[in-house]
Structure 1
Amino acid sequence: MELTTPDDTRALGRTLAPLLRAGDLIVLVGPLGAGKTQLAQGIGAGLGVRGAITSPTFVISRVHPPDPTRGGRLPLVHVDAYRLGGVAEVDDLDLDADVDSAVTVVEWGAGLVEQLTDGYLEIRLDRDDETEVRTATLVPHGGDWASRLTELGALSGK
């Protein structure tokens, strides 16, 4: 799926949010500047969470509780695993304590967080350096992700 503006990237997140439920793990993959944080912002907006969604690079993880005034229904755990050295450091974050009750979105999490759940959604973001157009590819891994993405039709690339 082509995302021509940062707002398109956020809109993808808002579109995915209604499909999300407690226990979901989203792993965002892509180079610097591909739009991972913008996608997390869209997911947070769609979930109606409290607080601005910013990159948690230096704090590693932020929990955004649902905001009832925004129709919030689930907390969002937003993680930036860029500075983590391996699975042991992810284990130290104790993310599995939150994973059952929240939607967990992990930037730079490939190879580090997949063991937290039986199934997860990988979203690969790429950016053309000349046009700055982004491409999103949604890849279901286990669970019922494939059927949920089918509900979205074009978003799943089908």
Structure 2
Amino acid sequence: MSADASGVRLEVATAEAAQDLGRALAGLLRAGDLVVLTGDLGAGKTTLTQGLGEGLGVRGPITSPTFVIARVHPGLSGGPALVHVDAYRLGGVEELDDLDLDASLEESVTVVEWGEGLAETLAADRLELVLRRSASQDEHDQVRTVLLRGVGPRWAGVPLDRLGSS
């Protein structure tokens, strides 16, 4: 783990570790939070979101919403719902606006995969995660690097650097 002005950088060696990171991240999230996930195909965005959903205690299963664009997973124990969006197939900000995500943004945790360049318009305060796979051709030997960066006053002072020690 390392931290600098660009954010906190973590290494995630397995799918289970990505889910563990999601569960730990859920402990920092609250209704109204926007999480923007960016990264290569197969980098672990949905896997991390599965852990996040588990940590938030929402109804699952969490699967990639690529073809339905967005899924709402209600909270099971009084916590916020998880709105899981896949912006990969969206043609631009206008199509993201058509989803009316701002209608549920304040009472849910909203996660937007492939959201870089689109989802920033939803909220000034957001948590951005960039996931990258290692260059190894062996799928079982690929370490993922996750860069976490809080944007806006909501994330000032939130101990993102502690996520690597969970």
Q: TM-score, normalised by structure 2?
A: 0.87
Instruction: Give 1:136-147 correspondences, 5 Å limit.
Output: 136-147=146-157
Does structure 2 retain, via aligned residues, the 8 Å contact 1:10–1:41?
Answer: yes
Identity %: 59
- TM-fit CA distance, 1:62: 0.1
SS of corresponding position for 2:35: strand
Q: Distance in 1 between matches of 2:82 and 2:40?
A: 23
Q: Residue 75 of structure 2 aligns with which residue?
A: 66
- TM-fit CA distance, 1:73: 1.1
Does residue 119 of the first structure (1) align with residue 119 of the second (2)? no
Does residue 38 of the first structure (1) align with residue 47 of the second (2)? yes
Does structure 2 retain, via aligned residues, the 8 Å contact 1:138–1:155?
Answer: no
Q: Residue 82 of structure 2 aligns with which residue?
A: 76
- Residue-by-residue CA offset, 1:82-108 (whole Å, 9 max, x unaligned): 000000000000000010110000000
Does structure 1 retain, via aligned residues, the 8 Å contact 2:34–2:123?
Answer: yes
**In proportion to residue count, which structure has more strand?**
2
Give the total of aligned pairs.
152
- TM-fit CA distance, 1:11: 0.5
* Structure 2 unaligned blocks of 5 or more: 1-9
- TM-fit CA distance, 1:146: 3.2
- TM-fit CA distance, 1:156: 7.5
Letter matched to residue 145 of structure 1: W
- TM-fit CA distance, 1:76: 0.1
* Structure 1 unaligned blocks of 5 or more: none
Does residue 135 of the first structure (1) align with residue 141 of the second (2)? no
Letter matched to residue 36 of structure 1: K
Instruction: Give 1:82-101 correspondences, 5 Å limit.
Output: 82-101=88-107
